[in-house]
Amino acid sequence: MSHPHPELGPPPALPEGGLRIVALGGLGEIGRNMAVFEYEGRLLIVDCGVLFPEPDQPGVDLILPDFEYIRDRLDDVEALVLTHAHEDHIGAVPYLLRERRDIPLIGSKLTLALIEAKLSEHRIQPAKLEVIEGERHRFGPFECEFFAVNHSIPDALAVAIRTPAGIVLHTGDFRMDQLPSDGRLTDLGGFARLGSEGVDLLMSDSTNAEVPGFVTSEREIGPVIDEVIRTSEQRVIVASFASHVHRIQQVMDAAARHGRKVALVGRSMVRNMGVARDLGYLKVPQGLLVDSRAIESWPPEDVVLVCTGSQGEPMAALSRMANRDHPIRVAEGDTVLLASSLVPGNETAVNKVINGLTRWGARVVHKGNAKVHVSGHAAAGELLYVLNLTRPSNFMPVHGEWRHLRAHARLAELTGVPEDHIVIAEDGVVVDLVDGRARIVGAVHAGYVYVDGSSVGEITDTSLKDRRILGDEGFISVVVVVDSATGKLTAGPEIHARGSGIDPAQFEEFIPQIQKALEVKAADGVVDMQEIRRVVRRTVGRWVSDTYRRRPMIIPVVLEV
């Protein structure tokens, strides 16, 4: 089993007739999916998504793939294929198109409509080509064939990439729901045909590789949602992903059956459902929708609110309702339905929102106490099915954390893929498909690029470390004035602290220690301002650590006279 090594160096030149694959995101993590394929100097990109920040990344709004690997080769990009319209697959597209606006976007009708709506906010009009399952299109040396796959958003696609180096099947995100609410099945017949033709490399969704069996059908969720709305005595507030058209359809159908109006809350929810409705993917009964701004005037037993915030996002509508920072006020007797899965890492934030809503008297229905969500990702039984249908010569698990990738690799071994033909890579690891074999040949830089407000890439890991220190330990600033010629202290020190938990009166007792340390340095002839700052920082840091066992950020300010 081939796997990454921390000492991997830059890759060699791609051999003639070989296909190179570099994932810039999506391996070892849930999100930021982006894979770059190279053949004869031309590039094809599959997906370009974002990763959402964790609690130890304060102030960060989004995390993008690092485009440095392709930045000097953007003119070589033939197309960007988008498998579906979830944020972890399309969220970084606006940032890539800022660097080259005319990269053709390839995707299904709904996928392109949702990304176009997003790009309009960035004032970008994309070049695009709409495709449907069963079609084949050539982009430079890459011939792409598209297959229908079932997922938690309509119009998802898998793509087979043909070059003289072989056939690569990239499943995108998929599951094998046999009774999907929209009737669109994963094209297992197409996968089997491709397997008969010969799949040289299978790249398959690993998110649920640890989950045994098969995923529950979407249709089993409808009756549960219907029961929640039927038995609720006051308002029902449903939180879901803003792209989960199937789930919103189930909510609307249940609301209509029980004589309730529906209001959409949140910009992304309103935008996405508007697009889905215009294209016919969302069927809205006449008169069902009402404006959220007028919802307070309706009797609470007659309304259903559909909003964002199922992952505990601090600025989303549901979190703001829990914090009493939203025009819609959760009241005693309301029911809140979290109709989505829990993305790993969001547990604390979601529990905080549940507690906040419960505090105001709401009944909270979630995956932990009711069957209100099914995963959009294939479980182990379905992954085995695809492996057996396609019979790949080589296998590379994608889209998942390390435990998911390794679990998927074990499934591939069980189906007969030789151990040395299974490639477990991570972001930036270079995989070459040459003469029918996939091997790791090197690595390129594929770090995080942080979006913070309007800044992109300006925040570094060092910046985040500073923010964590400030958040956890506070800061102490020390102002001293020294003679630039002699280095002697002429005024100060003056000490200010915020969030450090230290009594300011204690600093008065400590000031003589700073003065003494500076006197020693001046006697040694030290006049370098940088060295004087280091003396102040070390002296204060040692005292705080010894006295309080704390490590606040220490900011020395040295003024010269």
CATH code, domain with 502: 3.10.20.580
- Residue 486: the pLDDT is 76
- Residue 266: the pLDDT is 83
- Residue 113: the pLDDT is 94
- Residue 342: the pLDDT is 63
Considering the domain architecture, whether residues 342 and 229 belong to the same structural domain is answered as yes
Q: Number of structural domains, the chain?
A: 3
Domain boundary (433, 452, 471) is at 452
In a domain, 38, yes or no: yes
Q: How is residue 551 written in tokens?
A: 């490590």
pLDDT tens digits for range 521-530: 777 777 777 8
Top pLDDT among 194 and 521 is at 194
Q: How confident is the model at residue 519 (pLDDT cuts 50, 70, 90)?
A: confident
- The domain in which residue 344 lies consists of 218-365
Considering the domain architecture, whether residues 136 and 270 belong to the same structural domain is answered as no
In a domain, 6, yes or no: no
Considering the domain architecture, whether residues 335 and 350 belong to the same structural domain is answered as yes
Instruction: Indicate if the pLDDT at residue 472 is higher than 70.
Output: no
In a domain, 203, yes or no: yes
What residue numbers does the annotated binding site for substrate cover? 242-244, 373-377
* DSSP state letters, 228-283: HHHH-SS-EEEE--TT-HHHHHHHHHHHHHTT-EEEEESHHHHHHHHHHHHTTSS-
Top pLDDT among 505 and 84 is at 84
Considering the domain architecture, whether residues 83 and 197 belong to the same structural domain is answered as yes
Q: How far apart are CA 473 and CA 70, in angstroms?
A: 40
Could you give the percent of the chain with pLDDT greater than 70? 90
Q: How far apart are CA 214 and CA 384, in angstroms?
A: 10
Q: How far apart are CA 465 and CA 460, in angstroms?
A: 9
Average pLDDT over all residues of the chain = 87
Considering the domain architecture, whether residues 178 and 322 belong to the same structural domain is answered as no
- Residue 203: the pLDDT is 98
Instruction: Indicate if the pLDDT at residue 304 is higher than 80.
Output: yes
Q: Residues 285, 295, 243, 370: what is their CA dihedral angle, to the nearest 10 degrees? A: -90
Residue 414 is part of a domain; what is its CATH number? 3.60.15.10
pLDDT tens digits for range 312-323: 666 677 888 888
Top pLDDT among 492 and 419 is at 419
Q: How confident is the model at residue 158 (pLDDT cuts 50, 70, 90)?
A: very high
> What distances in angstroms separate CA 439 from CA 75, 279, 419, 543, one per listed residue?
27, 43, 12, 54
Top pLDDT among 369 and 98 is at 98
Q: How is residue 39 written in tokens?
A: 């053949």
Considering the domain architecture, whether residues 73 and 201 belong to the same structural domain is answered as yes
Q: How confident is the model at residue 193 (pLDDT cuts 50, 70, 90)?
A: very high
- Residue 136: the pLDDT is 97
- Name the strands in the sheet holding 77-81, side by side, starting at the edge strand that comes first in the sequence: 128-130, 105-107, 77-81, 42-46, 34-39, 19-25, 429-434, 437-443
Q: Is residue 432 among the annotated active site residues? A: no
- Residue 315: the pLDDT is 66
Top pLDDT among 477 and 184 is at 184
Q: How is residue 503 written in tokens?
A: 């009594």
Instruction: Indicate if the pLDDT at residue 459 is higher than 70.
Output: no
Considering the domain architecture, whether residues 339 and 417 belong to the same structural domain is answered as no
In terms of pTM, does the model score above 0.85? Answer: no
Mean pLDDT value across residues 444-463: 73
DSSP 287: T
Instruction: Indicate if the pLDDT at residue 444 is higher than 90.
Output: yes
pLDDT tens digits for range 24-73: 999 999 889 999 999 999 999 999 999 877 666 656 677 889 999 999 99
Mean pLDDT value across residues 78-99: 95
In a domain, 8, yes or no: no
What residue numbers does the annotated binding site cover? 59, 61, 84, 86, 88-89, 151, 173, 242-244, 373-377, 399, 452
Considering the domain architecture, whether residues 326 and 289 belong to the same structural domain is answered as yes
DSSP 341: -
Considering the domain architecture, whether residues 479 and 353 belong to the same structural domain is answered as no
- Collapse the DSSP code of 377 into the 3-class scheme (helix H, G, I; strand E, B; otherwise coil) and give the result: coil
Mean pLDDT value across residues 495-520: 74
Considering the domain architecture, whether residues 123 and 228 belong to the same structural domain is answered as no
Least confident of 123-127, 140-144, 292-296: 292-296
Domain boundary (452, 485, 508) is at 452
In a domain, 422, yes or no: yes
Q: How confident is the model at residue 329 (pLDDT cuts 50, 70, 90)?
A: confident
Mean pLDDT value across residues 154-162: 97
Q: How far apart are CA 142 and CA 529, in angstroms?
A: 60
Q: How confident is the model at residue 547 (pLDDT cuts 50, 70, 90)?
A: confident
Considering the domain architecture, whether residues 416 and 499 belong to the same structural domain is answered as no
Domain boundary (389, 424, 452) is at 452
- Residue 420: the pLDDT is 94
What residue numbers does the annotated binding site for Zn(2+) cover? 84, 86, 88-89, 151, 173, 399
In a domain, 10, yes or no: no
pLDDT tens digits for range 275-291: 999 999 999 989 899 88
Q: Which is catalytic among the residues 177, 187, 200, 205?
A: 205
Considering the domain architecture, whether residues 358 and 412 belong to the same structural domain is answered as no
User: 3-state SS of 462-502?
Assistant: HHHHHHHHHHHHCEEEEEEEECCCCCCEEEEEEEEEECCCC
Contacts of 270 (CB under 8 A, 6+ apart): 264
What residue numbers does the annotated binding site for Ca(2+) cover? 59, 61, 452
Q: Which is catalytic among the residues 246, 377, 404, 408?
A: 377
In a domain, 16, yes or no: no
Mean pLDDT value across residues 361-379: 81
pLDDT tens digits for range 413-436: 999 999 999 999 999 999 999 999
Q: Is residue 546 among the annotated active site residues? A: no
